[in-house]
Amino acid sequence: MIDVVYFAWVRERIGLPRERIETEAATVADLVEELRGREERYAAAFADTSALRVALDQELSEFDADLAGVREVAFFPPMTGG
């Protein structure tokens, strides 16, 4: 079980801010592949991962990173603070 959270237009496209997912995915990329296969709104949100950023347990990470031991995965567009 892993918590997956979404922000900004990723959240809007998928239609929810957070969900708990039962997954066997080994890496972030595997998880993205799995989510893409679920429904059209996921496919739309994850169409181009180069436009996305990922954080694992609230630390910026990469799409090829391992999910072992991770409790929270976050997907969002590049930040625009400041």
Interface residues toward another protein, by CB under 8 A: 5, 7-9, 11, 55, 58-60, 74, 76-82
Least gap, CB of 45 to another protein (angstroms): 13
Is 23 in contact with 49 (CB distance < 8 Å)? no
Which of residues 67 and 73 has its CB atom nearest to another protein in the complex?
Answer: 73
Q: Whole-number minimum distance, CB 37 to another protein, in Å?
A: 26
Strand partners for 4 = 19, 73
User: In whole angstroms, how close is the CB of 7 to another protein at the nearest point?
Assistant: 6
* Joined tokens for residue 82: 């400041």
- In contact, 74 and 6? CB cutoff 8 Å: yes
